[in-house]
Chain A
Amino acid sequence: MSARSVEVLATGPLCTVQDQGRAGSEHLGVPRAGPLDRPAAALANRLVGNPPGHALLEVTLGGLALRPTAATWVAVTGAAAPVGVDGRAVGLGRAELVPAGAVLRLGAPGAGVRSYVALAGGLDVTPVLGSRATDTLAGVGPPVLAEGQVLALGTPTAPPAPLEAPAASPTGRPTGLLRVHPGPRPERLGPRGLAGLCATSYVVGAESNRVGLRLEGPPLGLAGAGELPSEGMVLGAVQVPPSGLPVVFLADHPPTGGYPVVAVVEAADLWQCAQLRPGEPVRFTRAR
């Protein structure tokens, strides 16, 4: 056990450890995992002086409480959760020194879904297949965070960023407008192709999670019925199952799926899928 560690007092609905994710194991059936809002996670690490791939916490809808054993620089980014240190409100999007034994607490965010909590030195959990990321579907990597757990911290390698506070999110508020590129099977959408997908208004479904953003709205008609044999999928793949309701596959997506992938969300827009709440609108538009 490292001398520096942090005790988990509460986790909220879902809290996972994430780093840059796994690469090169999809052919064994292992998804990449990693933070859903990568820009926000990278900012949190940068603020506390960590390299971009250090392990941090992805907190879904707040509710996290942590107590470090030694004074530790901490930064919270992403969803605008109220943050307190021993009851004193502190700023989002800037490094804060949390004293030894003090309690860092995240409330429920007023907007967005996922907050990122980086601690100087990063979380020193055991890597699995080259990554410390929790995969919620395949069950690879550290388990979902639980109350009472103690997480070791690595040794800080650089000082925290200066205190001129940037925003909590480097990307702003999500607009719900997702740019899409053609996927391998756009012809399954019929003669209108991607135009049909882009002409439809959706809202985020309540079943959305780290596996996929599930959309609700008028179902798309599919041309050419019949399932496809399993085939590999990429991050951001827009798959249309027989229900006609698209799913945008995210970091914990399964390696194969038998339904047609008609489009792929522009990588720079994927962070929005981390922060859109159930009921919020989504539209697709052709990437240029």
Chain B
Amino acid sequence: MSGLGGARVRPFGPTALLAEVADAPTALALATWVRGSGVRAVEVVPAARTVLLDGLDPADVAATAALLEAWRPDPEDPASSPADGPTIEVPVVYDGLDLDDVAARWGLSRDEAVARHTGLELVSVFCGFAPGFAYLSGLPEEWAVPRLDSARPRVPAGSVAVADSWCGVYPSASPGGWRLLGRTEARLWDVERDPPALLAPGTRVRFVVAEPS
């Protein structure tokens, strides 16, 4: 939580607003606050440094913009707490194609890299890219790793990966440029479940070591 300022609000056509904030945890805090505030928006979409409010009544846009401008993150207020969701443990078999590469970038052995990853306290701050793909915040900036120079054409479903200072799990097989640490059998996306995303925004996440089955 930056604790700096509130939101800079940009118009996004006649029925939407884009609120710019300092970082992803602040975006999640603002999105959480908006959902509890009675603002009538069809979609409230937190992202890396913004929150989109879509489906506003054009008559409400100006007042909503003023509300967003006046908002300030408040660590004391549970309504703006970014991580008010459940804690989920995700079991991982650490045998990813890029595990040695990431360990080397961190200056660690393979086992130490696994210990670092399983020691993180992560929060799902937004979803994007694919249904149920959660951007997990909590990897310190100094441990950030660059994306691959070119994306792999097919990353298997359940791949556990890092890129920049994000952690993530691919819910389905797709192209992808994140560095792969391992794999999980957890179902990240299941439309029979409510919510269908295992790691919906606000969920706290820990990775734990699983033995290969």
- Tell me the A residues contacting B by CB distance below 8 Å: 23-24, 26-30, 128-129, 138-140, 181-185, 229-234, 236-237, 254-256, 261, 263-264, 267, 287
Given the known inter-chain contacts A139-B172, A184-B11, A236-B13, please indicate yes or no for A230 contacting B132, CB distance below 8 A.
no
Q: Tell me, rounded to whole Å, the shortest Cβ–Cβ distance linking B109 to chain A.
A: 32
Partner of B47, one of A23, A139, A230, A236: A230
Q: Is the CB of B50 within 8 A of A232?
A: yes
- Tell me the B residues contacting A by CB distance below 8 Å: 10-16, 18, 31, 42-52, 54-55, 126-133, 172, 191, 195-197, 200-201
Residues of A within 8 A of B49 (CB): 229, 231
Main secondary structure of the interface of B (DSSP, over half): loop
Q: Once bound together, how far apart are the Cα atoms of A236 and B127, in whole Å?
A: 21
Residues of B within 8 A of A26 (CB): 43, 45, 52, 54
Residues of B within 8 A of A261 (CB): 12
Q: Once bound together, how far apart are the Cα atoms of A267 and B15, in whole Å?
A: 10
Residues of A within 8 A of B201 (CB): 27
Residues of A within 8 A of B31 (CB): 27
- Report which residue of B13, B42, B43, B126 has the largest number of chain A beta carbons within 10 angstroms of its beta carbon: B13
Residues of A within 8 A of B128 (CB): 29, 230, 254-256
Q: Tell me, rounded to whole Å, the shortest Cβ–Cβ distance linking B52 to chain A.
A: 3
Q: What are 7 residue pairs bridging A and B, where the CB atoms are less than 8 Å apart in the complex?
A: A27-B46, A29-B131, A29-B132, A29-B133, A138-B131, A232-B43, A236-B13
Q: Once bound together, how far apart are the Cα atoms of A254 and B133, in whole Å?
A: 12
Residues of B within 8 A of A181 (CB): 11, 13-14
Q: Is the CB of A231 within 8 A of B43?
A: no
Q: Once bound together, how far apart are the Cα atoms of A12 and B15, in whole Å?
A: 36
Partner of A234, one of B10, B16, B129: B16
Residues of B within 8 A of A267 (CB): 14-15
- Report which residue of A27, A29, A182, A183 has the largest number of chain B beta carbons within 10 angstroms of its beta carbon: A27
Partner of B45, one of A23, A129, A140, A232: A232
- If A29-B132, A184-B12, A264-B12 are given as contacts, then 17 extra A-B residue pairs at C-beta distance below 8 Å, sorted by A number, are A23-B55, A26-B43, A27-B31, A27-B44, A27-B200, A28-B127, A28-B196, A28-B197, A129-B196, A183-B13, A229-B47, A230-B47, A230-B128, A232-B47, A234-B15, A234-B16, A255-B127
Given the known inter-chain contacts A231-B47, A231-B52, A232-B43, please indicate yes or no for A256 contacting B18, CB distance below 8 A.
no
Q: Once bound together, how far apart are the Cα atoms of A287 and B48, in whole Å?
A: 30
Q: Is the CB of B42 within 8 A of A184?
A: no
Q: Tell me, rounded to whole Å, the shortest Cβ–Cβ distance linking B196 to chain A.
A: 7
Residues of A within 8 A of B191 (CB): 128-129, 140
Residues of B within 8 A of A184 (CB): 10-12, 18
Q: Is the CB of A24 within 8 A of B42?
A: yes
Residue of A nearest to B14 (CB): A181
Residue of A nearest to B164 (CB): A229
Q: Tell me, rounded to whole Å, the shortest Cβ–Cβ distance linking A34 to chain B.
A: 13
Residue of A nearest to B199 (CB): A28
Residue of A nearest to B134 (CB): A29
Q: Is the CB of B129 within 8 A of A256?
A: yes
Residues of B within 8 A of A28 (CB): 127, 131-132, 195-197, 200
Q: Once bound together, how far apart are the Cα atoms of A58 and B55, in whole Å?
A: 24
Q: Is the CB of B12 within 8 A of A234?
A: yes
Partner of A24, one of B43, B46, B50, B196: B43
